[in-house]
Amino acid sequence: MRTNDIISHVGKQPFRPVRIFLSDGKSYDIGHAERMTVGRSEVVIGVQSDGDDVFDRFAFCHPVHITRIEPINGRRGPHKSKKLR
């Protein structure tokens, strides 16, 4: 994914939590914009395990390995999608 596209997703105001999907199948939930920094050749994601404000570790990935970004609430746009059961 292009860095400009990544920045436009996480730079929206007000910020809405998103899930970042990587080409290796991993995903990261970004609950706050401060958890992620986007550079030209690297995206740094702060990973927390217990939910406090301190990161346990960092995940580093190249922007081309980000395959998609989706809102955590499941909405992709202004229309609500039906859930399949």
Domains of the chain by range and CATH?
Answer: 3-71 (2.30.30)
Over residues 25-80, the pLDDT tens digits come to 999 999 888 899 999 999 999 998 776 778 889 999 999 999 999 999 855 544 44
Task: State which amino acid sits at residue 58.
Answer: F
| pLDDT given for residue 11 in this prediction | 84
- Contacts for 16 with CB less than 8 Å, ≥ 6 apart: 71, 72, 73
Q: Say which DSSP state 8 is in.
A: H
| pLDDT given for residue 77 in this prediction | 47
